[in-house]
Each structure stands twice: as structure tokens, then as C-alpha cells.
Amino acid sequence: MRLTPQVITGYLFLLAAVLAGAIWYIYLFVAVPPHISLSQSAIDLLRYTFSAENPQRLWFAWMGGSYPKGLVHLAIRLSFASARIVCPQRLGARRVRCFAHFVGLS
């Protein structure tokens, strides 16, 4: 069975989404201070991450929500031959292409 380039690209987008999740896992659970439970450390870190004190909170929101969801959407869109089922409108297809270009540039 030969994979088409679209399917390979879809798998690579899915891999990128998994790696974004791995970044969050490393960020939350690897460097836990002593005498603090794992869950309490993760909660405190998330509170600081999305607080007004952190100037990078929008970047973290992008990496935590929009980016992985967009990558999974691209993976689904490219992996299935019946792409009309996933993204039927032309406007939806344009949004997917714009996101794909944005991911490629970032």
C-alpha cells in the first residue's frame, strides 16, 4: 500500500499536535519543586501561566488550545480522501489553507 503525499502530510501534522502535548507535559510535570505534590505544582504553574502577571499568556493559550486543535484538524483534512465531509464549504477550506500556511511560517 502506497501512501499519498497528503496522507503523509496529515500524519506529520498529527505528530506535531502530539509533540505540542508533550511540550505541555514537560512544562507542567518535569521540574516539580521539592515538598510539593505533582498536582499542586501543575495547578500553581497553570495559575501563573494564565495570570495577568505573565506577559506571554497569549502564547501559552495559543500553544494549549488553538495550535493543537488546528493541527489535528489539518491532519484529519489531509488524511481522508473524502475531504468534503470534513470541510464542505469553500470558506472552511480557505481557513484550513490559511492555518496551514501560518503553521508553516511559524
Mean pLDDT of the chain: 77
Q: Domain span at residue 71?
A: 5-105
Q: What is the pLDDT of residues 16-43, one digit of tens each?
A: 888 888 888 998 899 888 999 999 999 9
Q: Which amino acid is at 15?
A: L
pLDDT at 24: 86
pTM above the 0.75 mark? no
CA distance 1 to 54: 49
Average pLDDT of the segment spanning 35-59: 90
CA-based R_g, the chain, Å: 17
Grid-cell match 470541510, residue found: 87
Q: What is the pLDDT of residues 63-82, one digit of tens each?
A: 777 777 777 777 777 766 54
Please check the confidence at residue 99 and state whether its pLDDT lies above 60: yes
CA distance 9 to 74: 9
Domain count of the fold of the chain = 1
